[in-house]
Structure 1
Amino acid sequence: MAGDRAGAVGSEIWTIPNILSMLRLALVPVFLVFIVQGDYIVSLIVLIVASLTDLLDGYLARRLDQVTRLGQLLDPAADRLYIFAALLGLAAQGLVPWWIVVVIVARDIFLLALGVVLANHGYGPLPVHQLGKVATFALFFGLPVIMLGLAFPVVAVVSQPVGWAITLWGAFLYWWAGIIYAIETVRVIRIPRVADESRSDTLGQGG
């Protein structure tokens, strides 16, 4: 029964929230194509639809007790893919510099490397830090605000500086969160070593 598993993380695949997440992922290439073509109004519409499905699948997952491991993977993956798609599409047209694409992508490669280090020490991924969530939200919000000025030039005088301010702040927080993850990774993988050293010291004193 749903009540018996309230708060539990399931292993189901074909749940309503997961299907909505899959739909959101399927819209990523559509979003990218319209950006590359310079159709920013349609791009924003696709992004709004994707954002609404994001809110809806989160609500339904909690309401229907259908929080799953797959859903926990799909949600952040979709957010990152939309950020990458917006960055790549805008950079391909020379509307944002390529260095900011490199900065954002490099941070996720950095986290991937940390994940490999953790796995090699027998640990799973670290819990998502609140700062990382804020950074992702800032990027997810800032880039569409930049696109808003491209879609509707009349608001560009306001949306462009605001969008860039939020995006650059998000990039800074993105890396700040990455450094926190790195520090936490070092702390976690040192725990067994510290425990072994303490045990060795105790045995040595006993001898």
Structure 2
Amino acid sequence: MNLPNLLTLCRFALIPIYVVLFSTNQLKTAFLIVVLAGATDILDGYLARKRGQITQVGVMLDPLADKCMMLAVIISLLASAMIPWQAAVAMFIRDAGMIAGSAFFHFRGKRTVPANSMGKLTTVLYYFAFLFIFFDFSFAVPYLWFVIGVSFVTSIIYIVLFLSLNREAGTFDSR
């Protein structure tokens, strides 16, 4: 256990806080919790790299914490009719697929792909989409659809990188 991994665990703890705030209609404060989770994500990544504390557990837990927060936000926005169900389904399929795929291959000894600039860009774009939705900007939902498209492109890039990484390491047989 190191500080970056502890910060990642704190992000898991922020999820129920977000849910309570959102469900009691404290939307701006709930959004601030999402931003706080994003800030701890940036901080834990920075500290892990700077201190040489990148661990396989952190590589797996960090995106899981992000995806769990994203799923909580998606479900809450859907339940409150702030986003269309089709957008929620698209985001859910993408995030659930990333979680399931990462866990499936991790527990089979495959190497996982650490976050890259495309993944980070996608996360930032989602945060802007949430900002626009929480603060009721007129273009929020069209912008969200744009971000969903970017997220699927990012997923394809991750899959290609995953296959390449594991072929090089000899942990993936393409047959």
Counterpart position of 1:83: 70
Offset at 1:91?
A: 0.9
Counterpart position of 1:92: 79
Q: Does 1:107 align with 2:94?
A: yes
Counterpart position of 1:3: none
Counterpart position of 2:156: 179
In the superposition, the TM-score normalised over structure 1's length comes to: 0.66
Counterpart position of 1:48: 35
Counterpart position of 1:201: none
Pairing 1:17-32 to 2, within 5 Å after superposition: 17-32=4-19
Equivalent AA in structure 2 for residue 32 of structure 1? V
CA distances 1:48-107 after superposition (whole Å, capped 9, x unpaired): 322222222223223333222222222212222222111111111111112111101112
1:44 and 1:128, CA in 2 relative to 1: closer, same or farther beyond 3 A?
Answer: closer
Q: CA RMSD in A?
A: 3.1
In the superposition, the TM-score normalised over structure 2's length comes to: 0.76
Partner Cα separation in structure 2 for residue 34 and residue 61 of structure 1: 30
Q: Which runs of 5+ in 1 are unaligned?
A: 1-12, 150-155, 195-207
Moved more, 78-87 or 20-29: 78-87
1:115 and 1:19, CA in 2 relative to 1: closer, same or farther beyond 3 A?
Answer: closer
Q: Which runs of 5+ in 2 are unaligned?
A: none
Task: Decide which of 64, 70, 73 is 2:51's aligned counterpart.
Answer: 64
Counterpart position of 1:164: 141
SS at 2:39 equivalent: helix
Counterpart position of 2:127: 140
Partner Cα separation in structure 2 for residue 18 and residue 186 of structure 1: 26
Kept in 2: contact 1:21–1:53 (CA 8 A): yes
Equivalent AA in structure 2 for residue 86 of structure 1? V
Partner Cα separation in structure 1 for residue 32 and residue 107 of structure 2: 42
Q: How many residue pairs end up in the alignment?
A: 170
Partner Cα separation in structure 2 for residue 113 and residue 94 of structure 1: 27
CA distances 1:98-133 after superposition (whole Å, capped 9, x unpaired): 211110111234445655886799743345564343
Higher-Rg structure is 1
Q: Calculate percent identity across the aligned residue pairs.
A: 26
Partner Cα separation in structure 2 for residue 109 and residue 54 of structure 1: 19
SS at 2:144 equivalent: helix
Kept in 2: contact 1:54–1:75 (CA 8 A): yes
Partner Cα separation in structure 2 for residue 61 and residue 140 of structure 1: 22
Partner Cα separation in structure 1 for residue 102 and residue 4 of structure 2: 26
Q: Does 1:33 align with 2:20?
A: yes
